Amino acid sequence: MTTYYLTPWNYRRMRSHRPVGFNGGRRLPLDVQSDGEDYVITAPVPGFKAEDLQIEILDDVLTLKGEIESDEVEKSGGYLLREIHRGSFSRSLRLPEATDSSKAEAKVEDGLLTVRIPKSEEARPKEIKVKAS
């Protein structure tokens, strides 16, 4: 039988093999896309309804929060195995350019949250015509 010792090197190596976005099951993994006009942020939120989610944008920092209340079985301790997270989460992300938060939109469909935030006019790419002299 091989004995495995947890040295600082092994611990770092073990931590580096965790799935992306994993920190005990509470961190919300995100996809962030940028096109010329908008930022599109997508996050899996299975089991969450629109009223369970809160989205805030302040100084180009997007914060996603959500909470699912514990059910009666959980309160009574009737689980034999429990891997589905209940409770709350919060995730903040600073967007790299200025946004127009007044025109932001969000929707939940099939367990996927999609937030679309338009870039501010100053942050959008501009095309400059080249004149011949």
40's tokens: 């599109």
* Domain extent at residue 52: 23-122
Domain for residue 115, yes or no? Answer: yes
26's tokens: 């509470």
Domain for residue 133, yes or no? Answer: no
Domain for residue 16, yes or no? Answer: no
At 41-88, the pLDDT tens digits run 999 988 888 998 999 999 889 999 988 776 655 566 777 887 776 778
Q: Which residues contact 66 (CB under 8 A, 6 or more apart)?
A: 28, 45, 48, 52, 53, 54, 88, 89
Domain for residue 112, yes or no? Answer: yes
Closest by alpha carbon to 71, among 91, 81, 86? 86
Q: Domain containing 55 — which CATH number?
A: 2.60.40.790
Domain for residue 15, yes or no? Answer: no
Please check whether residue 112 is in contact with residue 45, taking contact to mean a CB–CB distance below 8 angstroms. yes
Tell me the whole-structure pTM to 2 decimals.
0.67
Domain for residue 106, yes or no? Answer: yes
Give the neighbor-by-neighbor strand order of the sheet with 87-94: 53-58, 61-68, 87-94
Please report which confidence band the pLDDT of residue 31 belongs to, taking 50, 70 and 90 as the band edges. Answer: very high
Domain for residue 57, yes or no? Answer: yes
Q: How many domains does the chain have?
A: 1
